[in-house]
């Protein structure tokens, strides 16, 4: 491997740039000078121990959280600048949380189309056509008329992804999208995400699914204690982490860079997931 791996989208300005971002909650320093960027078309996975600042960072990325220092630049727009219209900016950023937060009284289709109808004022037929196409994309067109309570966790999360996609965002932010799911439905959500990635969607994914990060990420950023410990292509982070604390974190999760070699030169053996407790 070359010493200077080329990153996806490196030839143009980053879509998201974090510069010396500081965020405090009272006495707690949640982000302590965080610096990294996300290029257009990249899948960037954020990993790291519980409480290290990953969710806070995502909330700062779409202006849900005001920062106490530094800059967050999205498509050249400074989100920290008071004059920035955050409502407008957020329409270009899709967000998928751990808990799906679907509207319980609406069908899957209405959940997907509600933003199009209310924010975009799209005519119903047009919104429904787009909504159905998106449900098709996440493999749920047959469930269009069901309410969230009638869907499995994995299905609800796929509806949430379709809902975020409906607004045609430039970037999708995921905060542990599978960590509230039953093991049997995790795979279906990850495969929808993998497909999105393959289509070139820019994605920032906070995840404890190291196997997903290893296979799908273009770039991995390791958080620890409110800072970026190290960043790099997944092969490097998972196989040759530079920082001892990255190795500790990965091995705590059951990842051992030097375990079985699958025969393709890539060592990857991942024990059953072990959750950090917050
Ligand atoms: N709204 C809040 N009020 C006070 N403290 C907060 C708030 N949100 C986060 N924190 C604190 O900020 C730090 C970073 O939290 P954050 O949720 O970003 O971590 P995380 O890396 O997402 O952890 P996890 O993997 O458990 O989700 C933690 O010490 C947390 O307790
Ligand atoms: Mg979190």
| Residue 261 to residue 258: CA distance in whole angstroms | 8
pLDDT string in tens for the chain (278-residue length) = 444 558 999 999 999 999 999 999 999 999 999 999 999 999 999 999 999 999 999 999 988 899 999 999 999 999 998 899 999 999 999 999 988 789 999 999 999 999 999 999 999 999 999 999 999 999 999 999 999 999 999 999 999 999 999 999 999 999 999 999 998 899 999 999 999 999 999 999 999 999 999 999 999 999 999 999 999 999 999 999 999 999 999 998 888 765 444 444 444 444 444 444 43
Residue 26 CA: nearest ligand 1 atom is: 4
Measured in angstroms, how far is the CA atom of residue 90 from the centroid of ligand 1?
22
Residue 208 CA: nearest ligand 1 atom is: 25
Tell which phi-psi region holds residue 136, choosing left (phi > 0), alpha (psi between -120 and 50) or beta. Answer: alpha
- By most ligand atoms within 8 Å of CB, the mutation choice from 34, 48, 55, 209 for ligand 1 is 55
Measured in angstroms, how far is the CA atom of residue 96 from the centroid of ligand 2?
12
Residue with token string 């098709």: 136
| Residue 90 to residue 201: CA distance in whole angstroms | 16
Residue whose CA is closest, atom 27 of ligand 1?
50
> Which tokens in the block code for residue 133?
């196409």
Indicate the Cα dihedral angle 97, 101, 107, 108, nearest 10°: 0
Measured in angstroms, how far is the CA atom of residue 138 from the centroid of ligand 2?
25
Taking the model in full, what pTM does it have?
0.91
């Amino acid at each position: 491997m070359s010493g200077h791996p080329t990153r996806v989208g490196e030839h143009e300005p980053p879509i998201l740039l974090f510069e010396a971002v500081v965020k405090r909650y009272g006495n707690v320093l949640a982000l302590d000078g965080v610096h990294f960027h996300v290029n257009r078309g990249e899948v960037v996975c954020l990993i790291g121990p519980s409480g290290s600042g990953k969710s806070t960072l995502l909330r700062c990325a779409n202006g849900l959280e005001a920062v106490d220092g530094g800059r967050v630049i999205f498509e050249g727009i400074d989100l920290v600048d008071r004059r920035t219209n955050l409502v407008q900016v957020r329409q270009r950023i899709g967000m998928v949380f751990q808990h799906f937060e679907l509207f319980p009284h609406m069908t899957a289709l209405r959940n997907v189309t509600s933003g199009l109808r209310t924010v975009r004022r799209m005519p119903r037929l047009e919104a429904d056509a787009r909504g159905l196409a998106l449900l098709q994309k996440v493999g749920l067109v047959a469930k269009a008329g069901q309410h969230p309570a009638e869907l499995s966790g994995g299905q609800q999360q796929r509806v949430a992804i379709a809902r975020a996609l409906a607004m045609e965002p430039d970037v999708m932010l995921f905060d542990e999208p599978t960590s509230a799911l039953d093991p049997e439905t995790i795979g279906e959500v990850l495969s929808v995400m993998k497909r999105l990635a393959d289509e070139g969607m820019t994605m920032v994914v906070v995840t404890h699914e190291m196997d997903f990060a290893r296979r799908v990420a273009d770039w991995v950023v390791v958080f620890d204690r409110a800072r970026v410990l190290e960043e790099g292509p997944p092969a490097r982070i998972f196989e040759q982490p530079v920082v001892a604390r990255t190795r500790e974190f990965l091995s705590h999760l059951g990842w051992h860079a030097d375990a079985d070699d699958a025969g393709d030169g890539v060592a990857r053996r991942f024990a059953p997931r072990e959750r950090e407790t917050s």
